[in-house]
Amino acid sequence: MNPELRLSVLDTAPITHGSSAGTALRESVELARLADDLGYHRYWLPEHHGMSGVASAAPAVVGARIASVTRRIRVGAGGVMLPNHPPIVVAEQCGTLEALHPGRIDLGLGRALGGPRSVTDRLRGERTTPFEAQVRELLELFDAEDGRAPAVPAAGNRPEIWLLGSGDHTAEMAGRLGLPFAAAHHLAPLNTAAATYRQAFVPSVLCPAPRVAVSVAAIVAESDERAHWLAGPLRMKVARRREGRPIRLMSPEIAAAQGPDTEPDGVFVGAADTVLPQLRALAEQTGAGELIVKTDIYDPADRRRSYELLIGGHADGRLVP
C-alpha cells in the first residue's frame, strides 16, 4: 500500500428530508472545520443544478466561506462543470480565491452539465465550444502576464488544477495535457479511467508525474450493523432514483420501514476495520495517491462521526498500514 495515501472530503451539501439548503450549507461549514482539525487533505464541493437534495451549486461561493474558517486544509471545486461557464469567469473566481488563500485552493474541472438540461441551458446559453478548447483557454488565462491578463486576479494566482471524470475520454485528455486526474469511482465503480490516464500521461510543468485521486462513497460507524443501518436512507434514495422517483435522504427509521433495498454498487459500508482494507485495496488497484470520500448520511452528527472514525488517529491525513 502507498504509505502516502491521503484522505480528503467530497461534500455535496446534502439536503435531507425536512431540512433546507441553508441548513445543509451551514452543516457543510461545520464538517469542513472538523475535517481541517482531523487532518483531511482537501475539501471539495461539486457543482450541481436543479437537484432538490443537493445544496452545492456554487462551489466558488461555498469554498470562499470554508477557506475563511479553516486553517490548513485545501479547498476547492470538485468540480466546476466547465461547459456551463465562460473560462474567464472561472479563472477570475478561482484566481481570486487563490489570491486570498495562497497555496490552499483547488480547481477540479468536469465536462458534464451537473444537472438537467432544462436548468443548465440557463447557464450555458448558446456556447458550443469543445471541452478541451475550454480547458486550454482556462490554462492560458492563468499563464497570462499581469500586463496583458484578461482575468487579472488569475495572473500569478493559479490554483491546483485537476480534470475529473469516470470515462476514458476525459482520462486520456488529462494525461495528454499533463494534469492531475480524479477518477469518479463513486459514480462508476468499474471504470478504467485511472489506467487510461496513466497510459496517456505526458509530463508537464504543472504535473511532472502522474497524479491520481479516486472519489469513493463510504459510510462508517462503530459497527458493521450500525453502518448498514445508517446506509438505509442512501439505499432507498438510489432505488427511488432508478425508479424515476427522486427523493431526499430520509431517516434510517423511515428507510427501514420501507423494507430492504439493494446496496448501491461501489459504496463502502461498515466499521472502520471493515472499510479501511477495502479502501486500501482500491488505492492499490488504481494507483491512487488519494481517496476523496463522499458520505451521505441523514443525521449530520452521524456524518461527522463517520469521517472521524474513517481517519482514526491519523492526524496528518494519511492512511497507514
Show pLDDT as tens, one digit a residue, over the chain (321 residues). 355 799 999 999 999 999 999 999 999 999 999 999 999 999 999 999 888 999 999 999 999 999 999 999 999 999 899 999 999 999 999 999 999 999 999 999 999 877 777 676 666 666 678 999 999 999 999 987 766 678 889 989 999 999 999 999 999 999 999 999 999 999 898 789 999 999 999 999 999 999 999 999 999 999 999 999 999 999 999 999 888 899 999 999 999 998 777 778 889 999 999 999 999 999 999 999 999 999 999 999 999 999 999 998 555 556 544
User: How many residues make up the chain in this entry?
Assistant: 321
Report the alpha-carbon distance of residue 256 to residue 239 in Å, rounded: 13
- What pLDDT does residue 321 have? 41
Q: What is the DSSP letter of 158?
A: P
41: nearest Cα among 104, 100, 107, 97: 104
Tell me whether residue 34 is exposed, middle or buried, using C-beta atoms within 10 angstroms of its C-beta: 0 to 12, 13 to 18, 19 or more.
middle
3-state secondary structure of 220: strand
Which residue ranges form the domains of the chain, and what is each CATH number? 6-217+287-311 (3.20.20.30)
289: its cell numbers = 495517491
Q: What is the DSSP letter of 54?
A: B
Specify which residues 318 forms β-bridges with: 6
Q: What is the DSSP letter of 263?
A: P
CA dihedral 194, 115, 23, 214 (to 10 degrees): 0
pTM above 0.85, yes or no: yes
Tell me whether residue 318 is exposed, middle or buried, using C-beta atoms within 10 angstroms of its C-beta: 0 to 12, 13 to 18, 19 or more.
middle
C-alpha 317: how far from chain center: 16
Report the alpha-carbon distance of residue 246 to residue 273 in Å, rounded: 33
C-alpha 34: how far from chain center: 17
**Phi and psi, residue 187, nearest 5°:** -100, -35
